[in-house]
Copies of this chain bind each other. A is one copy, B any other.
Amino acid sequence: MDLNEKQLQIIDTAERLFADKGFEGTSVRDIAEEAKINVAMISYYFGSKEKLLETLFAVRAEGTVQKLESMLKDTLMNPLQKVNVMIDYFIDKFQKQNCFYKILMREQVAVQRTATSELIQHFKKRNQKLVKQLIHEGQKTGEFSKNVDVPMLMTTLIGTAGHLMATQHFYKEINNLQEMPDEQFQKLIKKKLSSHLKFLFKATLTHEV
């Protein structure tokens, strides 16, 4: 997928607005105004508003799984270390691509757009397969216990990290962290999430249930 400067600019703007106001809550004129382009350019470049969303998904999803796959091929790490790398990888994704993952979290709830929903499913499958392999590795060496419910564990990873990252404003308010500078706050929740999830995974993977 090769996109020019202007197309990327439209996608960036759309991403931010979709995350804040939702897909239906954002008009093409909102996007055009914010991106300082003419409304017609959206149809011209992407065909339609819906196809803009599809392109956005395709662009952001590109290379995501491959990178994780290659990271986990490292043979110097033991299975638990790899699990920890994976956890940090997801947290980092959610944090750095916050807008995109807000859209993703919303799109997963409603199954309106067939194309995007199929893309989501595809990536969820790949992720789960990858994690399954990883856990299998640890089970072979005896480091991980048998009978690990991988789908449920993935749900906890994505559910916990995704929920916190997509609703940080509530976390801030509820825990009275409104005054904290955002940079510091991001570091805080990243650290908290990381150790929390690593503990949960270790407990699930190494203890008998």
Contact = CB atoms under 8 A, between A and B. Distances in A.
B120 A170 contact: yes
Given A160-B160, A166-B108, A167-B108, A200 B204 contact: yes
B106 A196 contact: no
B22 A174 contact: no
B25 A110 contact: yes
B24 A196 contact: no
A169 B128 contact: no
A108 B110 CA distance: 15
Interface residues of A, number: 51
Interface string A76-96: 000000000000000000000
Contacts of A25: 23-24, 110, 112
Interface stretch (A7-15, A64-72, A148-156): A148-156
A200 to B, nearest CB: 5
A159 B197 CA distance: 12
- Copies of this chain assembled into the complex: 2
A134 interface: no
Contacts of A128: 174
A163 B174 contact: no
A175 interface: yes
A173 B20 contact: no
Interface string A134-168: 00000000000000010111011011111110110
Contacts of A195: 209
Contact of A159 (B124, B164, B209): B164
